C-alpha cells in the first residue's frame, strides 16, 4: 500500500443539499450505520446551528456505538465583529460534543470583500480565532478552505495566507475546496502539490462535479500528496454533485494501492452505494462505475465470448472485488453462450447443445417476436427459463381484480383504486388500495393481499416504470411493452410485460416482479440453512 487516505463522507451535509433529497433523522442514522459498516473514517453529519433536525440527530447518535466512523459537526468561522464565544452557530456546534469539527472559511479574496463584506485582514482573524478557540476546546479541526482553487488562481498570495492562519491556529487538516467545480485535473495537481510541500499538516481535497471531473480531480490531489478526500457516497449534492466516493475509493484502493477503507470491506461497496441511494430516495444510475447495474454487463457476442475465456479481456476489475456481479444481457446479438450461462445458474448440468437450451432459445425468439425485450429485464428472463425448464411453481393464483379510475381526482395523489382477490394454498384474500393511477393502485392492492402470506413483500417497492408503444400505426390499440424495476432496499430487478392493454402488460410485469422476489427469498433461506 502507498499510504493511508482518510475518507470524509459528506452525504448528510453536502449530499442533503441536492435537489430532491431530504433526510429524516432516522434516515441520517441509517446512513451513518451503513458508512460505519463500510469503514468510512469520518462522516460530516450536518450543521447543528442550522436546524432542529440536525440537533436531534447529534443527540441520538451519541448513544450509538460506531466501529469505524467518527461523526463530525460542520460550521463556519465566527461572524465578523463578534468573538467565538458570542457566535451562536459556534456555540451550537460545541453543544453537540463531537470530537471532530469541520469549519469552512473564505479563501477567495473576491468572496471576502464582495460576499461577506469583510476586509481581507478581518477574514484572516475570523479563521484564526475560530480554529484556535475550537482547538482550546480539544476538538480535531478540519479547515475547509472554501473556493481555494479559484482563490489561488485569482490571488495566490492571499489564498495561502488563509491556510497560514488556519495552520498557525492549530488546524489538524487543511482541506482545499473546488467549491464551484470548475478546476481541471492538472490545476488541482499543481496547486495541491505546492500546498503539500509548504505545510507539515495533513492536506485534503473537496471537489464538486460541475465540469464532470470531481473524481479525477480528487485522484490527482492524492497523487500530489493529499491524504484526506471529501465526497458523497454515489456523488449527489449541490448542483452537479460532489466527488463520488463509490468511484474514488476503488480507484485509489484497487487501482493505485492506497488504503481508504479496510481491505475486507471493499466488497461491501456496491451494497453500501445502493443502500445510501435507497435511503436518499434516489435511483442509482445503472451506468455508475464499479457499483452500477451495468458496470459489468456484457451484450455483444464477441465481448461475452472473451469474458468467458478470460474476464480481463473486457473487464478492468473483478466485479466481486467491489461486491458487484457480472451480467450477460439477453438479446439478438448475445448468442447461445449468454443464454446457457443464465440457464446454468438454475440447472448447472445443462449444456450448450442440450434440448433444454434449444427450448429456451425458441421461447425467447417467440416472445421477442411478440414484443418482449429481455436484455433489460433480468428478473423476467430468469422466470422464463424456470418456466421452460419446469423449475417454476406459482406462489399465488389471481381470482379477479377491478380498477376504478376517477377524473377529476378526489385528492392530489389518489387518482384510482383497485380491488383484488387472490388465492394462496387454497386460502383466499381480498384487499383494496388507492394509488396514483391504476397501475400504482393495482401494485399496492396486490402486495397488500400477498403480505398476509409473504411478509417480506412489505420491503418491495417500484423504483421505475417505463412504457413503450411497439406499433404506432395502430394508435390507441397498439401493443405496449411495460418495464418495471423493483427493489427491496438491498437489490433491484426488472421485469417486462407486453399486451395491447397497458393494464394487462403492467399486471404481467408486476406478477413476475413479485414472484422473482419470492424465489430469491427461498434461495437465500436455502443458502443460510446450508
For the ranges 95-104, 199-208, 356-365, the lowest mean pLDDT is seen at 356-365
Share the mean pLDDT of the chain: 91
Judge residue 54's burial from the number of C-beta atoms within 10 Å of its C-beta, 0-12 exposed, 13-18 middle, 19 or more buried. Answer: buried
Residues 369 and 469 in one domain: no
pLDDT of residue 527: 65
Residues 123 and 247 in one domain: yes
What is the tens place of the pLDDT at every residue in 428-464?
999 999 988 888 899 899 989 999 999 999 988 888 8
Residues 135 and 225 in one domain: yes
What is the tens place of the pLDDT at every residue in 303-313?
777 887 888 89
Cβ–Cβ < 8 Å for 220, 192: yes
pLDDT of residue 407: 65
CA–CA separation, 31 and 494 (whole Å):
26
| Banded model confidence at residue 528, pLDDT cuts 50, 70, 90 | low
Residues 177 and 268 in one domain: yes
pLDDT of residue 408: 60
Residue 286 lies in a domain: no
More confident residue, 344 or 32: 32
Cβ–Cβ < 8 Å for 378, 385: no
pLDDT of residue 66: 97
Residue 289 lies in a domain: no
For the ranges 206-220, 226-240, 389-403, the lowest mean pLDDT is seen at 389-403
Residue 452 lies in a domain: yes
Residue 164 lies in a domain: yes
Is the bond preceding residue 408 a cis peptide, omega within 30 degrees? yes
Domain hosting 306: range is: 297-389
Q: End of a domain among 279, 307, 340?
A: 279
Q: End of a domain among 389, 411, 430?
A: 389
CA–CA separation, 115 and 154 (whole Å):
16
Residues 158 and 36 in one domain: yes
Residues 159 and 73 in one domain: yes
Residue 75 lies in a domain: yes
Residues 364 and 407 in one domain: no
E-strand ranges in 30-164 read 42-44, 70-76, 100-106, 140-146
Residue 285 lies in a domain: no
Percent over 70 (pLDDT), the chain: 94
Residue 509 lies in a domain: yes
Residues 424 and 509 in one domain: yes
| Residues in Cβ contact with 477 at an 8 Å cutoff, skipping those fewer than 6 apart | 500
Most distant CA pair in the chain, distance? 83
CA–CA separation, 476 and 430 (whole Å):
32
For the ranges 101-110, 118-127, 246-255, 348-357, the lowest mean pLDDT is seen at 348-357
Q: End of a domain among 223, 245, 279?
A: 279
What mean pLDDT do residues 219-233 have? 98
pLDDT of residue 333: 47
Residue 72 lies in a domain: yes
pLDDT of residue 513: 94
Residues 421 and 442 in one domain: yes
What is the three-class DSSP state of 274? Answer: helix
| Banded model confidence at residue 499, pLDDT cuts 50, 70, 90 | very high
Overall domain count for the chain: 3
| Banded model confidence at residue 18, pLDDT cuts 50, 70, 90 | very high
More confident residue, 173 or 350: 173
Q: Take residue 84 and report the three cell numbers written for it.
A: 467565538
More confident residue, 512 or 466: 512
Residues 347 and 467 in one domain: no
DSSP string of 195-240? HHHH-SSEEEEEEB-TTS-HHHHHHHHHHTT--EEEEBTTS--STT
Residues 266 and 346 in one domain: no
What is the tens place of the pLDDT at every residue in 374-407?
866 888 889 999 999 888 889 999 999 999 886 6
Residues 227 and 311 in one domain: no
Amino acid at each position: 500500500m502507498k499510504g493511508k487516505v482518510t475518507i470524509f463522507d459528506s452525504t448528510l451535509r453536502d449530499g442533503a443539499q441536492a435537489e430532491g433529497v431530504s433526510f429524516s433523522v432516522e434516515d441520517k442514522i441509517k446512513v451513518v450505520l451503513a458508512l460505519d459498516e463500510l469503514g468510512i473514517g469520518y462522516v460530516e453529519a450536518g450543521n447543528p446551528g442550522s436546524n432542529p433536525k440536525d440537533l436531534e440527530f447529534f443527540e441520538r447518535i451519541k448513544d450509538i456505538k460506531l466501529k469505524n466512523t467518527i461523526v463530525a459537526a460542520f460550521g463556519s468561522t465566527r461572524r465578523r465583529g463578534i468573538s467565538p464565544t458570542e457566535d451562536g452557530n459556534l456555540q451550537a456546534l460545541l453543544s453537540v460534543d463531537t470530537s471532530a469539527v469541520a469549519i469552512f472559511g473564505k479563501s477567495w479574496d473576491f468572496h471576502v470583500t464582495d460576499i461577506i463584506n469583510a476586509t481581507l485582514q478581518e477574514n484572516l482573524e475570523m479563521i484564526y480565532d475560530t480554529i484556535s478557540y475550537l482547538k482550546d476546546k480539544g476538538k480535531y479541526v478540519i479547515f475547509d478552505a472554501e473556493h481555494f482553487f479559484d482563490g489561488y488562481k485569482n490571488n495566490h498570495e492571499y489564498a495561502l495566507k488563509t491556510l497560514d492562519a488556519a495552520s498557525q491556529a492549530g488546524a489538524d487538516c487543511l482541506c482545499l475546496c473546488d467549491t464551484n467545480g470548475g478546476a481541471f485535473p492538472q490545476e488541482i495537481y499543481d496547486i495541491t502539490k505546492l500546498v503539500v510541500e509548504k505545510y507539515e499538516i495533513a492536506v485534503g481535497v473537496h471537489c464538486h462535479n460541475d465540469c464532470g471531473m470531481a473524481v479525477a480531480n480528487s485522484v490527482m490531489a492524492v497523487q500530489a500528496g493529499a491524504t484526506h478526500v471529501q465526497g458523497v457516497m454515489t456523488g449527489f449534492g449541490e448542483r452537479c454533485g460532489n466527488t463520488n466516493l463509490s468511484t474514488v475509493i476503488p480507484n485509489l484502493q484497487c487501482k493505485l494501492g492506497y488504503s481508504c477503507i479496510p481491505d475486507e470491506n471493499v466488497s461491501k461497496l456496491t451494497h453500501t452505494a445502493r443502500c445510501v441511494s435507497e435511503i436518499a430516495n434516489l435511483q442509482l444510475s445503472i451506468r455508475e462505475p464499479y457499483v452500477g447495474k451495468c458496470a459489468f454487463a456484457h451484450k455483444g457476442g464477441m465481448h461475452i465470448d472473451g469474458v468467458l475465456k478470460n474476464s480481463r479481456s473486457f473487464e478492468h476489475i473483478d466485479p466481486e472485488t467491489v461486491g458487484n456481479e457480472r451480467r450477460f444481457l439477453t438479446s439478438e446479438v448475445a448468442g447461445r453462450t449468454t443464454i446457457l450461462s443464465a440457464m446454468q445458474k438454475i440447472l448447472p448440468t445443462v449444456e450448450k447443445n442440450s434440448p433444454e437450451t434449444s427450448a429456451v432459445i425458441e421461447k425467447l425468439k417467440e416472445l421477442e417476436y411478440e414484443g418482449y425485450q429481455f436484455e433489460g429485464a433480468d428478473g423476467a428472463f430468469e422466470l422464463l427459463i424456470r418456466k421452460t425448464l419446469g423449475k417454476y411453481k406459482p406462489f399465488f393464483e389471481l381470482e379477479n381484480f377491478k380498477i376504478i379510475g376517477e377524473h377529476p381526482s378526489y385528492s392530489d395523489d389518489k387518482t384510482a383504486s383497485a380491488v383484488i382477490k387472490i388465492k394462496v394454498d387454497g386460502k383466499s384474500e381480498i384487499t383494496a388500495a388507492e394509488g396514483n393511477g391504476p397501475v400504482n393502485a393495482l401494485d399496492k392492492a396486490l402486495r397488500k393481499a400477498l403480505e398476509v402470506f409473504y411478509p417480506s413483500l412489505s420491503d418491495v417497492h417500484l423504483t421505475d416504470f417505463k412504457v413503450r408503444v411497439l406499433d404506432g400505426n395502430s394508435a390507441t390499440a397498439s401493443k405496449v411493452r411495460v418495464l418495471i424495476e423493483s427493489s427491496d432496499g438491498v437489490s433491484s430487478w426488472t421485469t417486462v410485460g407486453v399486451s395491447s392493454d397497458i393494464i394487462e402488460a403492467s399486471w404481467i410485469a408486476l406478477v413476475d416482479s413479485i414472484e422473482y422476489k419470492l424465489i430469491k427469498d427461498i434461495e437465500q433461506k436455502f443458502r443460510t440453512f446450508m
